[in-house]
Every structure is written in C-alpha cells, then in structure tokens.
Structure 1
Amino acid sequence: MKTISLSYSADLNWTASLAEQLDGKIEKNNIISCESISTGDRFFMNIQKGVVVYYHNTITHVDIRMIQKNNTDDYIAVYYILSDQYSKYLSNDFSFDIGRWRYNFLIVDSKVESTYYIKAGTKTLALALFIKKSVMQSFAKNNRCWFSDLDKMLNPPENLIIRLDRMSNESIQEINDLRKLKVGGLVFELYLKAAVELLFSNYLKKVSTKRTIIETDDSDFANIVAAKLFLINNIEEHFPSIKSISNIANMSESKFQHLFKKITGTTVNNYFMHNKLIRAKELLEENELTVSEISDRLHFTNSSHFASTFKKHFGILPKQFIKQL
C-alpha cells in the first residue's frame, strides 16, 4: 500500500509535496504521477486569492492511504467525489464510505485529521476546493446566502466534519461536463472556474434553507441506492413501474417513494427522466445517431416529445444543441 501524507492549504504550497510522493513532477498546473501509481489528470489552479481548486480524473493502480494533517486551520475543504468504487474515509472515531452512489460531498474544517483509503483500480472524478474562511464569509454575504449555521462552519467548536451529504444531479452533471474537456489551456480554466462558482453558490443556497442531512436506516439507504442503480442501468428503457422498483428496494410503494424523495431530493419519475435526458445529451455529443434515432432508442413517445422535453430541461432543442458542438 502506498502511503501519502499531505497538509493541504488554500494556496498551492502542497502541490510539490503531492507530486513528489506520487513519484512524479509538476508541468505547468498539472501533477504528473508515476504511471505505476496512477494515471490521468491532476490539475490545480488558483481561482482567486484564498481559493484553490484541485481537479482530478484518475485511475489508481495501487492501494493508497492518504493521510491528511494540516498545518493551518484558516480554511474549509469542500470535496465533490465521484468514484466507481467505495473508498473509505476515516476521521476521529468515524468511518464513511465515499463514492458516486454513497456519500459524495464533504465539507471539512482544516483542523480535522483524516485518512482516506483508495483501492487499486478505482476510477475517480473529483473536485476539491480549499477556501479561506474569510473568503467564504464574504462570498456568502455577497451572494445573499447568509444563514445561521455559517458561523458554525467558519468557527466549529471542535474538530469535525461539518457536512456529509450527497450531490444533486445538477452538481454531478456539472462535474461530468468537465471530464469531456481537454485539461489545461484557457478554455478548460474558464469552464473550471465557472463550475466552481456555480457549484459552491448552489450549495450555499441549498444549505441556507436549513435542509439537514437525512438520517435513514442503513438497510433502507442501501435499498434506495440499489433502486437508483437499477434505474441508471435501465435508463434507455421505458420507465419501470413504481411497484417493480419498490420490490427491488424491498419496501412498500408509499415508503419507497417517500424515502427516495427524502434521500435524493426528487421523485422517482423525475430522477429517471433527468438521467434519461443526460444520456440523450451524451448520445447527441457522440454525433453517431440522428435525433429521431436517439428518440427511438430512449423510448420517447416520438421525436417531437423528445425535442420538447429536451428543450424544457436544457433550454435548447436537440438539433440546435448539435449545431453548437
């Protein structure tokens, strides 16, 4: 197992240490890892003074233990983590599974010491933001999303994970869109900066509504995750009945629909349609099928229904979207 010890900060002082421990080097804003450890992109950038973003889209080739013990306590770390396997996150006496279908969003005070275990073969798409507390305070005020718990975020009474949550579908899509761009260069940097501002602004607005993390029985949560996976794996088919999906979740229809909305923030039907439209967008970007063929493949009623639904969701007709590619 490869052990990497880091002290992050809201500047770029940590990048050289990470590159060295990956037996790699830094080229411009990219950390190039030794290929026997990991492959893929590791890109870092100053968004503004006191705000740093670290984007990585990588495949890990060895088991890795990431130990984080910071030398400063003046920033907040915000993690958006999409990985195809669960990775283990440990802090104090707590242990969490982190991954695309589990917890995938964390806000952590820089006082927190933590360990993150990543299995060999894990594919990870992630954004990490390191934000000075003073900058976060100004950002919240300027965007009119001040809320009572912000003081607790900026001055936590003890070493703690401030928030452990799940990303919205919109946040996941925003990060997935970054993956389609060539890393480095002005275009990528502009998209990355815009994505960071949108993601964090949306998050602050969400928590300003005082929405709390949903607590559910572990087995219920696992069953909802299983139902979500079933929907994603069958995204090109007709919408299955609520009865059939609730059977997969081993729940009554009413309990399933109630918990699904609590956990995901949306209904089963809306979740399915949102992801079907994301799939449609991907097929359009591949530019191998016509609009009519995509409509048929995804089992829309007809091309007109597909076009109107796509426009309602993305604000543009499929044919117009193709012309912009």
Structure 2
Amino acid sequence: MEIAFNKGSYIDLQNLLDNLKDDVIFDRIQLQPEQGKGFICALNMGDGMCALLADVTCKQDILFKQLTGGGQFYIFQFNESMGGRIHFDNEPIQHEQVYNMQQNVVLLTNSQMPASYIIQSGIHIRTIKIILEKKHLLQYLDSETVEAFLSTYFSQWVKTGNVEPIDVEYRKLIDSILKYKYDHPLTYTFAINRCMLLLERFITRFMKRARIKKPSLRIKDDDITRLMRVEALLIKSYIDPPPTINVLAKEAAMSPTKLKKDFKELYGVPIYEYFQMNRMNYARTLMQEGRYAIKEVGKMVGYTNLSHFAGSFKKEFGVLPSEFNARDEALQVVRY
C-alpha cells in the first residue's frame, strides 16, 4: 500500500487515516486481525500543531511518501523498534543505513526534504511524529534560539545525518503517550503535554551539545549504528537474562572494551545499568496499567524472587511496588 502526502495539518492526518481504514473512531483506527494489530491515532495539539501516534504490527508493507510543495513544516520523529528504513531521495546511499528505522532514534525532518517511510510487514512499530511550523517553536522559544536550533541542526544533518538514540527517558515519555485510549478530553490533554515534553527534551539536549565547541561524541557514524543495534538487542526481552558483553560485542563487531566505552559515551551509563533502568521502567509501566499482580510483574521482567524485585524497584523509584499508586502518579503527571 502506498500513501502520498505533502501537507502537515490535522485535517490531512485525518484524511490519511481514512485512506487506511473506513471506520475511524475518535481520530483513531484499530487494525483488524487481517490487517495486523495495534492502532494509529491523529492528535490535534491545537493552533495547527498535530501528531501521528502509532503502535502497530502490519501484515502488509505500507509506504508513506512525503512530497514537497505543500508548505513549510517540520516533523519531529521519535521511532522505536522500527522495521524498514527511511531513504532521502537526493541523499548519498550511505545515509540509508544511518536512517534505518529498525533503530531506536529521534530525528527532525522538514517538508522540503522528499522522503519515503517504509513500514515493513511483521515489524513492531512504535512511533510518534509531531508536526508543526516554525511559528509554533516561536511560541515557546525566543527567535534567536529557534534560528540557531534549525540552522545548526540541518547544517549538521547535511554533513552527518543527524540522529539521536532513544534512551530510557525518551522511552518513558513514549510509553506514557501510547498506552492510553484516546476517547476522553483529559487523555488528549495528557498526550499533548507529553508530546511537548518530548520536543522540549530533544531541543534542549541538542542546543546544549551545540553550545559546546568540540563534538559531543567522538564516535564514528558507523559505530553509532552498531551501538543502536546493540541497544535494541539488549532491551529486546526482560524475561531472560541480558546478553553477555561478548555476545553484544560480536553484534557490534567491536572489542568488549570498545563496546563498553562507546556505549557509555552514547547512552550515558554502563551497559547493564542501562538494561536495569529500562527493565524497571517497563515494570513501572506494567504497574500503572493495573492489570497485573506484583508477583506477575516481577516475573514479566525476569525476577523469580519477589523480594529481589521489590528491592530493585525501590532502588529505582524510591518506593516498594506495594506502595506504588499508579492512579496518584498519573494524576500528578497530568497536573504538571
């Protein structure tokens, strides 16, 4: 299936959903068993801003072809566990690998960059695409910062293909956005709030790095791609023990010493500390759903000893699982 678009309004996202399926409810479609599983949702963020949210596994390939000529807008993309790849029509072939959508990455594109987004069948996709214009950035940031951000980002993109890996903090925000059914106004308010936090974190982190004269990373582009593959393998399952350093080093085609050094530089923490942070974040997400007993959650993140799970949970979040109140935490987040 091929769907072409060249505009970035909320109405255009609604039309895009109509092309995928006839019965769109609350700007959301639920894939039928013959189509795959999961949902795609259009989110109206107000004042011309919008977002496309998706958590799907499709049974057929879908090609979204972004055409030029529909006005100037920007797409902030937060992609996790993606299959397929993004290929920019006028870019050298080596950029295909950097933008392989099977990696967990954050990137920014604009409407003047023709691109094709290929969603391959059988691949689990979680993505949030926030669409806005320059005027929206000016509502939250001063003009000097906006100009510096856009010019610096795209000048670096032309040279290196600028992407940022998804880390545990991004993953927390993505989880919080995608886990709700969008059939209530308060849920929409919550999702818009979380989307704005995604934008704020991305822009703030990028500008902080840009203000540093020397490059923030001393890792080659090819090595970054390999490290992203390692990260995907590391957090693929929490039920089983994480892969050994030697297994991960083989996946990355680098020595164990180099792997540990470069992984910490890219993601900010050592490999197994990163695994534990993500494992506990997933446990918290399961607790928030309210469908599982504490013992069940422990087993789902690989613990056979409930006291060990409770200790790890408290170390990460400051409270025991039995003291964790998902409802109060959710209300606190909404009040942010």
CA distance in 2, matches of 1:99, 1:286: 35
Q: Is the 8 A contact 2:74 2:133 kept in 1?
A: yes
Describe the SS at the equivalent of 2:142: helix
Question: Who is 2:78 aligned against?
Answer: 80
CA distance in 2, matches of 1:157, 1:295: 41
1:123 aligns with 2:127: no
In the alignment, which residue of structure 2 is the partner of 1:52? 50
Corresponding residue of 2:255: 252
Deviation string 1:290-316 (CA, Å, 9 cap, x unpaired) is: 39965995277x83x654543453354
The 8 Å contact of residues 291 and 318 in structure 1, kept in 2 or not, is answered as no
Partner of 1:287: 292
Q: Which range moved further: 237-246 or 309-318?
A: 237-246
Matched residue SS, 1:115: strand
Matches within 5 A, 1:88-237: 88-94=86-92, 95-97=95-97, 102-141=103-142, 146=145, 149-152=148-151, 163-210=162-209, 214=217, 215-216=219-220, 218=222, 220-221=223-224, 223-225=226-228, 227-233=230-236, 235-236=238-239
1:1-12 correspondence to structure 2 within 5 Å: 2-9=1-8, 11-12=9-10
- Give 1:170's aligned amino acid: E
Structure 1 177/21 Cα, relative in aligned 2: closer, same or farther at 3 Å? same
CA contact (8 A) 1:108 1:162 kept: no
Q: CA deviation at 1:112?
A: 1.0
TM-superposed CA distance for 1:279, in Å, is 3.8
Normalised TM-score (structure 1): 0.78
Instruction: State the 1:254 CA deviation.
Output: 2.6
Distance in 2 (CA, whole Å) between partners of 1:246 and 1:16 is 44
| C-alpha RMSD over aligned residues | 3.9
Structure 2 counterpart of 1:264, from 264, 267, 292: 267
Alpha-carbon separation, structure 2, partners of 1:209 and 1:83:
27
Q: Distance in 1 between matches of 2:23 and 2:216?
A: 39
Q: 1:12 to 1:283 in 2, by over 3 A?
A: closer
Shift, 1:274, TM fit: 0.5
Tell me the CA shift for residue 273 of structure 1: 1.5
Structure 1 or 2: larger strand share? 1
**Which amino acid counterpart does residue 80 of structure 2 have in structure 1?**
L
Alpha-carbon spacing, 1:308–1:118, altered in 2? closer, same or farther (3 Å): same
Output one character per residue of 1:61-111: Cα deviation in whole Å (capped at 9) or x when no partner. 222222101434432111112235343433422443556762522201221
Judged with a 3 Å threshold, the aligned counterparts in structure 2 of structure 1 residues 245 and 81 are, in CA distance, closer, same or farther, namely: closer
**In structure 2, what is the equivalent of residue 29 of structure 1?**
27
- Whichever structure has more helix as a proportion of its residues is 2
SS of aligned partner of 1:44: strand
Structure 1, 281-290 or 251-260: larger mean CA deviation:
281-290
CA contact (8 A) 1:78 1:106 kept: yes
1:223–1:249 CA contact under 8 A, matched in 2: yes
3-state SS in 1 of match to 2:56? strand
* Amino acid in the other structure paired with 2:166: M
AA partner of residue 295 (structure 2): T
How far, CA to CA, are the matches of 1:186 and 1:161 in structure 2? 41
For the residue of structure 1 that corresponds to 2:264, the secondary structure is helix
Instruction: Classify 1:317/1:141 alpha carbon distance in 2 versus 1 (closer, same or farther; 3 Å).
Output: farther
Report if the CA contact (8 A) 2:238-2:301 is conserved: no
Output the amino acid matched with 2:119. I
**8 A contact 1:227–1:245 mirrored in 2:** yes
Tell me: CA distance 1:275–1:262, structure 2 relative to 1, closer, same or farther (3 Å). same
User: Closer, same or farther in 2 for the Cα pair 1:311/1:147, shift >3 Å?
Assistant: farther
Contact 1:104 1:165 in 2 (8 A): yes
Q: Which runs of 5+ in 1 are unaligned?
A: none
Structure 1 residue 280 displacement after superposition:
3.0
Matches of 1:222 and 1:162, distance apart in 2: 11
